[in-house]
């Protein structure tokens, strides 16, 4: 078959590209390795920036989000057993964060695309990209459901298949510059069927390491625990997870209880950042995790993926309307935001983490100094709010 744009991957990036292209009247086909049920249930990120929600609303893609998502205006830092709340919304024009699990957004975007007759092929195995240096690249794969081989000829390939995808790997060696950084810590990421024990996100700085309480829904919460590099999930039976969370999140002079529940997912996250420049090669343009990964600190990963997708769809639509200016600027435009977020996330990572125990005492004092700066200086607080909420 033939189309204008072949989109690889049905994550947030690929699905926003596909939906916006359809709305602009540009033909596209999406190929996704997994089944529809799998992508609609895979829990990942959960915090969506104000500007991203506005973009989804403009395109009529936020109906269910507006019914279900909780809007947030503040976050809480805990240090030395004391809590400090930052009402960031008031500091950046009343913008808010929306708590909406990634798989819910993916579900909405799949339904919107298919609902308007979009061509989305699940269970596409062994996807390969060809002739990216020509004006007529193609994509081949095997339909795992039928065992049949398929080929899509196209004008452009949108590589939205995440960090481990085939798109970036299809670029000839040496054509992209890779930047990567390991932050020297790990996070144990825990998803629990437990109602939240807080109204806003909690970031706790503790001598035994960082602990975070994130929000997902009225029945599900996500927690993070700082661990040493090389640590394994096997060292974290459920009882230890809850004991560490209780200890690191504890308040000194206030009663506060952590609501526990069955743990449904436990993963060890390598806290790594990665960016490629430029975000494409020939007729391939990369978007989202395919081009850059960021740690969960600051909640930027999904927002960057959606920003890339919006910019790419807009640039491709402009191409078919006769102008290549946006496509030419695509990589640079996205990378500006990517690096801003990387810098913010790194800054916040440094504030929240020090090596556990004695060795981290100096850094923990610096963390307190940084936090006090945000808490006492309206200018510093406003700068934090702008980054945390996401610059317009
Ligand atoms: N062929 C086809 N599809 C693929 C392939 C492949 N070889 N490899 C991966 N995919 C699919 C995955 O199954 C997934 O559905 O591509 C999609 C990529 O989606 P994401 O990994 O969610 O990436 P992206 O859309 O860029 O969104 C980034 O995900 O990791 C989180 O925190 C991150 O929230 C951010 C978001």
Residue in 289, 300, 309 to alter for ligand 1 test, most ligand atoms within 8 A of Cβ: 289
Which atom of ligand 1 lies at the shortest distance from residue 165's CA?
A: 8
Q: Which atom of ligand 1 is nearest to the CA of 31?
A: 2
Q: Is the CB of 387 under 6 A from ligand 1?
A: no
Ligand 1 neighbour 205 (Cβ under 6 A)? no
Nearest to 298 by CA among 257, 330, 344: 344
pLDDT value of residue 220: 95
**pLDDT for the residue 232:** 97
Q: For the domain bounded by 5-72+98-179+272-346, which CATH number is listed? A: 3.50.50.60
- Regarding the beta carbon of 10 and ligand 1, being less than 6 Å apart is answered yes
Q: Answer whether residue 10 shows pLDDT above 90.
A: yes
Question: Which residues are marked as active site?
Answer: 72, 203, 296, 300, 388
Ranges of beta strands (E only) in 4-88 are 5-8, 28-31, 47-48, 70-72, 75-79, 82-86
- Asked whether 162 lines ligand 1 (CB < 6 A), one says yes
Structure confidence at residue 363 (pLDDT):
86
Looking up tokens 């990387």 gives 342
Decide if the complex's ipTM is over 0.85: yes
- Ligand 1 atom at minimum distance from 308 CA: 26
Ligand 1 within 6 A of 165 CB? yes
Structural domain boundaries in the chain:
5-72+98-179+272-346, 184-270+359-389
Render the burial of 30-60: b for 16+ CB within 10 Å, e for the rest: bbbbbebeebbeebbbbbbbbbbbebbeeee
The confidence score (pLDDT) of residue 139 equals 98
Tell me, which fold does domain 184-270+359-389 have in CATH? D-Amino Acid Oxidase; Chain A, domain 2 (3.30.9)
Ligand 1 centroid to residue 152 C-alpha, Å: 20
Q: Would the pLDDT of 368 be above 90? A: no
Do residues 197 and 250 make contact, with C-beta atoms less than 8 angstroms apart?
A: no
| Alpha carbons 319 and 24: distance in angstroms, whole number | 11
CA 140/CA 296 separation, integer angstroms = 33
Q: What integer pLDDT is reported at residue 125 of this predicted model?
A: 98
Mean pLDDT value of segment 7-35: 98
13 alpha carbon to ligand 1 midpoint, in Å?
8
Secondary structure class of 147 (helix, strand, coil)? coil
Atom of ligand 1 nearest to the CA of 14: 25
Residues 6 or more apart whose Cβ sits within 8 Å of residue 359: none
**Binding site membership of 102 for ligand 1 (Cβ less than 6 Å):** yes
Q: How does residue 357 score in pLDDT terms, banded at 50, 70 and 90?
A: confident
Phi (first) and psi of residue 378, to 5 degrees: -60, -30
Q: Which atom of ligand 1 is nearest to the CA of 124?
A: 2
The DSSP-derived string for 76-88 is EEEETTEEEEE-H
At 106-133, the pLDDT tens digits run 999 999 999 999 999 999 999 999 999 9
Query: 4 pLDDT band (50/70/90 cuts)?
Result: very high
The confidence score (pLDDT) of residue 359 equals: 81
Q: Which residue has the higher pLDDT, 360 or 373?
A: 373
The closest residue, in CA terms, to atom 35 on ligand 1 is 302
Give the per-residue pLDDT at 279: 98
- Give me the residues paired with residue 9 across strands: none
User: For 380, phi and psi rounded to 5 degrees?
Assistant: -65, -40
Give the pLDDT band (50/70/90) at residue 161.
very high
- Give distance in angstroms: CA of 72 to centre of ligand 1: 26
Q: Pick the residue whose CA is nearest to atom 8 on ligand 1.
A: 165
Q: Is the CB of 289 under 6 A from ligand 1?
A: yes
């Amino acid at each position: 078959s033939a189309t204008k744009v072949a989109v690889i991957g049905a994550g947030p990036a690929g699905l926003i590209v596909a939906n916006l292209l359809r709305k602009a009247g540009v033909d596209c086909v999406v190929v996704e390795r997994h089944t529809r049920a799998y992508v609609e249930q895979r829990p990942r990120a959960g915090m969506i920036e104000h500007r991203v929600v506005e973009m989804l609303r403009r395109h009529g893609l936020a109906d269910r989000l507006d019914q279900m998502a909780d809007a947030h205006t503040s976050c809480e830092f805990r240090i030395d057993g004391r809590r400090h709340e930052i009402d960031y919304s008031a500091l950046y024009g009343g913008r808010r964060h929306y708590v909406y699990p990634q798989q819910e957004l993916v579900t909405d975007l799949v339904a919107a695309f298919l609902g308007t007759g979009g061509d989305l092929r699940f269970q596409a195995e062994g996807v390969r990209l060809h002739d990216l240096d020509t004006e007529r690249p193609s994509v081949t794969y095997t339909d795992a459901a039928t065992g049949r081989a398929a080929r899509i000829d196209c004008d452009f390939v949108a590589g939205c298949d995440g960090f481990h995808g085939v798109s970036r790997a299809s670029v000839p060696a040496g054509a992209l510059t890779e930047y990567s950084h390991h932050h020297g810590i790990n996070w144990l990421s825990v998803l629990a069927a437990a109602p939240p024990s807080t109204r806003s996100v909690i970031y706790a700085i503790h001598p035994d390491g960082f602990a975070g309480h994130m929000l997902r829904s009225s029945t599900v919460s996500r927690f993070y625990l700082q661990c040493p590099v090389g640590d394994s999930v096997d060292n974290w039976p459920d009882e230890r997870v809850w004991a560490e969370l209780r200890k690191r999140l504890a308040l000194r002079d206030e009663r506060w209880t952590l609501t526990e529940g069955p743990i449904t997912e436990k993963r060890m996250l390598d806290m790594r950042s990665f960016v490629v420049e430029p975000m494409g090669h020939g007729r391939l343009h990369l978007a989202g995790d395919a081009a850059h990964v960021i740690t969960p600190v600051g909640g930027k990963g999904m927002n960057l993926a959606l920003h890339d997708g919006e910019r790419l769809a807009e640039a491709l639509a402009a191409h078919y309307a006769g102008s290549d200016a946006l496509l030419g600027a695509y990589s640079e435009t996205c990378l500006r935001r990517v690096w801003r977020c990387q810098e913010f996330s790194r800054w916040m990572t440094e504030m929240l983490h020090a090596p556990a125990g004695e060795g981290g005492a100096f850094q923990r004092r610096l963390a307190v100094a940084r936090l006090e700066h945000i808490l006492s200086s309206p200018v510093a607080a406003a700068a934090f709010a702008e980054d945390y909420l996401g610059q317009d």
